Amino acid sequence: MGLKPWGALCVALAFAFGSAACQPLYGGKPEHLKNPEKKKRPPEADVAAAPVSYVEDCSASFGDDPKKHHPNGVAARQNVDAGDTALSSAEHAKDDQQRVGLIKEAIAKYREALIKDNWNVDATIKLAVAYDKSMRKGCAIAMLKRLSQMAGHKLFTAEATRKLDDIDANGAWFKGYRKDAMAAVGR
């Protein structure tokens, strides 16, 4: 049985293409990739963190007698709310000057609240936090000591103790001098 002439041609072409199909498509064996050389990093200049400078002094005096306590609670609450608004706005301010201005406004409102109600626990702790944000460590510590004194007075014990617990819970408050702040509140 012989192959027909066109059949022989098909077998020859299949053999030719079959052997070509076994050849690499793009040439010979690929080169092995080498890992890049490890370069030493240039020595970085030691950037020392600038020490935070707090204002240590404070001229606050708290000689008021709680027995002579005649609060104007409505006016004090309004000032505390205005201080809260200013402090909240300061956290979202994009400009440093605007932020500083809003923190000063919050401090003024909290101080005004304490003038209206000199034993206001809420204004006391919020004024301490505002002083902390303005880098006034001495005044913040003074307000924390006052809060600790308020916790020892029977009229303010419950609310002042809750605010002292808030200080424990908020680790971001008084972060640069946390140990001193906790000592000021007796914890």
pLDDT in tens, 102-156: 999 999 999 999 888 888 889 999 999 999 988 888 889 989 998 888 888 888 8
Alpha-carbon distance 68 to 26, whole Å?
98
Count the residues in the chain.
187
Residue 52 pLDDT level (bands cut at 50, 70, 90): low
Question: What domains lie within the chain, and their CATH numbers?
Answer: 69-184 (1.25.40.10)
Helix, strand, or coil here: 88? helix
- Which pTM was predicted? 0.67
> How many percent of the chain have pLDDT more than 90?
15
